[in-house]
């Protein structure tokens, strides 16, 4: 593991990592299973991704955040929110509970809140720990929406294709790559919408136009205050879709006041090798423990 230069909390976007792990292996047509037939490919892949990040970034503390299922406040605001999502594959469904058991065996808290998404739990915890403690925060995810959480104490680790391949965003790298501030990520989504989350933004405005407008006028408020400067076509699109513009921005913004909490002591990264190996043996993936460098005491 890397030397820890300063205390750092790694917030893991459990949903993003688990889905990535499932599809990375399921695409080959092979699903890892126990002798009893229990699918474990997503769990196995999750731990590979997760532990590689721990080795790479050397956090002193770790929390894993999850969607809880059921209705969310975004679904209440906009009934079609995520309405285009397919059901989770049958082989993945039992692994949602299984991965939480594995994280429990690693002494890593599993955090979620009814009515909210994992993103909101991550945003809330990042805000708390950077404001109330000395910890810096890193978020492990594949979701570019998380870039809105960046600040001087919070970095976003975007998982790229393949193991051990990351792009780490802070305010400087975000500006260098996208010419945007964290707050402007939300304004972009308000304008262009999000096909994967199934909200439209302003009809007829895509990423290229949204980027140009946000860069030129700074924010949605800046754009609305300068409608007379826009081309007639763009102005008409925005004026025709004002309600959806504001709703889309509301849906895009990560909520950072969720009723979740975890003590510093509760999320310190401390493995008990026996507990970890017992769980891996139960799931017939003892080799994973060896790969992690965990041996039975």
CATH number of the structural domain spanning residue 55: 3.40.50.1010
Residue 297: inside a domain: no
Number of domains in the chain: 2
**pLDDT given for residue 294 in this prediction:** 74
Q: Which of 15, 78, 112 is nearest to 251 (CA)?
A: 78
Residues 12 and 50 in one domain: yes
Beta strands in 86-163 (DSSP E): 110-111, 136-141, 154-159
Residue 1: inside a domain: no
Residues 265 and 248 in one domain: no
CATH value at residue 238 = 1.10.150.20
Task: Report d(CA 98, CA 86) in Å as an integer.
Answer: 21
- Per DSSP, 253 falls in state S
**pLDDT given for residue 261 in this prediction:** 94
Residues 137 and 186 in one domain: no
**pLDDT given for residue 2 in this prediction:** 39
**pLDDT given for residue 5 in this prediction:** 64
**pLDDT given for residue 296 in this prediction:** 45
Residues 126 and 65 in one domain: yes
Residues 114 and 62 in one domain: yes
Burial group, residue 70, by CB count within 10 angstroms (0-12, 13-18, 19+): exposed
Write the CA distances from 9 to 1, 44, 172, integer angstroms: 15, 23, 20
User: How confident is the prediction along the chain (297 residues), in pLDDT tens digits per residue?
Assistant: 334 568 999 999 999 999 999 999 888 888 999 999 999 999 999 999 999 999 999 999 999 999 998 899 999 999 999 988 888 999 999 999 999 999 999 999 999 999 999 999 999 999 999 999 999 999 999 999 999 999 999 999 999 987 778 999 999 999 999 999 999 999 999 999 999 999 999 999 999 999 999 999 999 999 999 999 999 999 999 999 999 999 999 999 999 999 999 999 999 999 999 999 999 999 999 999 888 887 544
Residue 2: inside a domain: no
Phi, psi of 183 (to 5 degrees): -60, -35
Residues 56 and 202 in one domain: no
Residues 21 and 123 in one domain: yes
Residues 92 and 33 in one domain: yes
**pLDDT given for residue 297 in this prediction:** 40
Residue 218 structural domain = 182-252
CA dihedral over 128, 17, 192, 243, signed as positive or negative: negative
Say which residue the tokens 């990351």 belong to.
166
- How much is the pTM? 0.94
**pLDDT given for residue 3 in this prediction:** 45
Residue 296: inside a domain: no
- Per DSSP, 234 falls in state H
Residues 28 and 86 in one domain: yes
Residues 107 and 187 in one domain: no
Residues 281 and 242 in one domain: no
Residues 239 and 273 in one domain: no
């Amino acid at each position: 593991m890397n030397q820890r230069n300063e205390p750092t909390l790694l917030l893991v976007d459990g949903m993003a990592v688990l889905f990535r792990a499932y599809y990375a292996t399921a695409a080959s047509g092979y699903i890892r299973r126990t002798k009893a037939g229990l699918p474990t490919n997503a769990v196995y892949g999750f731990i590979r991704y997760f532990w590689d990040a721990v080795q790479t970034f050397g956090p002193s503390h770790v929390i894993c955040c999850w969607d809880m299922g059921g209705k969310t406040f975004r679904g209440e605001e906009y009934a079609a929110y995520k309405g285009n999502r397919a059901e989770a594959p049958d082989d993945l469904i039992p692994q949602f509970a299984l991965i939480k058991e594995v994280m429990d065996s690693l002494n890593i808290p599993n955090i979620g809140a009814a009515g909210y998404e994992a993103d909101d739990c991550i945003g809330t915890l990042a805000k708390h720990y950077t404001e109330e403690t000395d910890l810096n925060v890193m978020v492990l995810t594949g979701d570019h929406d998380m870039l809105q959480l960046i600040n001087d104490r919070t970095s976003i680790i975007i998982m790229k294709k393949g193991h051990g391949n990351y792009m780490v965003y802070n305010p400087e790298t975000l500006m260098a790559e996208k010419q945007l501030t964290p707050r402007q990520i939300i304004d972009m989504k308000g304008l262009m919408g999000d096909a994967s989350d199934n909200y439209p933004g302003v009809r007829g405005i895509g990423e290229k136009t949204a980027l140009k407008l946000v860069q030129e006028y700074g924010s949605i408020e800046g754009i609305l205050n300068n409608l007379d400067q826009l081309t007639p076509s763009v102005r008409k699109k925005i004026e025709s879709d004002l309600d959806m513009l504001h709703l889309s921005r509301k849906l895009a913004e990560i909520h950072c006041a969720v009723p979740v909490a975890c003590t510093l002591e509760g999320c310190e990264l401390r493995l008990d090798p026996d507990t970890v190996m017992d769980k891996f043996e139960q799931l017939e993936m003892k080799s994973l423990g060896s790969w992690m460098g965990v041996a039975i005491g």
